[in-house]
């Protein structure tokens, strides 16, 4: 039998943005429920090391997510992980979320923090060899490639930082990047270039993956000459950006042409009482700290909205 539980605020998403919002709201004595389809911590849990979080010298991403969850629950927030969302209704004065098991949760305000997921290359063989030589998470799979030669695809901070971290396991890391320059910060570029285990194939992309039971190699196409070469490798790690997890929100809230949630300075959406935060919103920079900042602002704005309801 379906049951209904009412909250002041429901947060959809359990990454750093959602967890920060839960900390702020629950500490302010706001009845807060956080629902996430994955593990609390979000994409942050896949990061082997966070070294630029203010006040903390170095910490594993999973550990930081665990600390944030503990803070939120210590103030009274209810955090439910691995929840499958069935339907979302944001249009009414009271918002509602129904999970696949028939449980309905209602709230006066909603904070959308669905985050994003790894972007794929979308070339032949990628689906075939996912988990059989192709990975999108160095933390999860790096040790499987101990003593082996691997390829890293990408040219941003994540690609270069994870390439360096993978040299702890692999004997050789080859970075393949579509441009003749990197988009990463200079410190990340310098660290990668100074590592003797790392080599570079620039102005190139992987055009296909091949193998038998497991990945055995890739075809690399030079984007200047068009020439394709076979490159034997034991594994490929792909770090080429993200896709916002907003497919189920398309008809519910205003998105831009990239599927990112459009927000105002207070993280408000086009719907009254609905706010958004984290990697799924329109922004230039995506870091744990920017997600935390979004979550803070969204929580404070949501609390103000609740106060306005009481006044009216």
Q: Which residues are catalytic?
A: 137, 140-141
> Which residues sit opposite 104 in a β-bridge?
4, 98
Residue 61's alpha-carbon distances to 12, 72, 182, 189, 291, in angstroms, are 20, 17, 24, 22, 14
> Which residues sit opposite 200 in a β-bridge?
175
User: What is the C-alpha to C-alpha distance for residues 237 and 126, in angstroms, rounded to an integer?
Assistant: 11
Closest CA relative to residue 117, chosen from 245, 234, 250: 245
Give pairs for 225-233: CB < 8 Å, separation 24+: 231/151, 231/174, 232/149, 233/133, 233/149, 233/150, 233/151, 233/174
Structural tokens at position 128? 């075939």
Structural tokens at position 67? 């600390």
User: What is the C-alpha to C-alpha distance for residues 127 and 62, in angstroms, rounded to an integer?
Assistant: 27
Beta-carbon count within 10 A of 226 CB:
7
């Amino acid at each position: 039998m379906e049951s209904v539980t009412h909250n002041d605020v429901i947060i959809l998403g359990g990454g750093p943005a959602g967890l920060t919002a839960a900390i702020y709201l629950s500490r302010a004595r706001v009845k807060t429920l956080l629902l996430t389809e994955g593990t609390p911590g979000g994409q942050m849990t896949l990061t082997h090391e966070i070294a630029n979080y203010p006040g903390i010298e170095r910490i594993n991403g999973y550990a930081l997510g665990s600390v944030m969850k503990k803070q939120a629950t210590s103030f009274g927030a209810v955090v439910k992980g691995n929840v499958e969302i069935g339907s979302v209704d944001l249009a009414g004065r009271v918002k509602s979320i129904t999970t696949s098991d028939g449980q309905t949760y209602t709230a006066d305000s909603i904070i959308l923090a669905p985050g994003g997921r790894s972007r794929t290359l979308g070339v032949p063989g990628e689906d075939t060899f996912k988990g059989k030589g192709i990975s999108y998470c160095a933390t999860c799979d790096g040790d499987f490639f101990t003593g082996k030669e691997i390829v890293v695809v990408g040219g941003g901070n994540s690609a270069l930082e994870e390439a360096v971290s993978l040299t702890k396991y692999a004997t050789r890391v080859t970075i393949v990047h579509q441009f003749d320059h990197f988009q990463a910060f200079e410190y990340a570029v310098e660290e990668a270039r100074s590592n003797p285990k790392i080599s570079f194939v620039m102005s190139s992309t992987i055009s296909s993956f091949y193998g038998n039971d497991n990945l055995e190699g890739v075809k690399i196409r030079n984007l200047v000459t068009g020439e394709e070469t076979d490159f034997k490798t034991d594994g490929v790690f792909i770090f080429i950006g993200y896709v916002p997890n907003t497919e189920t929100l398309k008809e519910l809230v205003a998105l831009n042409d990239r599927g990112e949630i459009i927000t105002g300075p207070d993280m408000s959406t086009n719907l009254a009482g609905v706010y958004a935060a984290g990697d799924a919103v329109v922004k230039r920079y995506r870091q744990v700290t920017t997600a935390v900042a979004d979550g803070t602002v969204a929580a404070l704005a949501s609390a103000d909205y609740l106060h306005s309801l009481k006044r009216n």
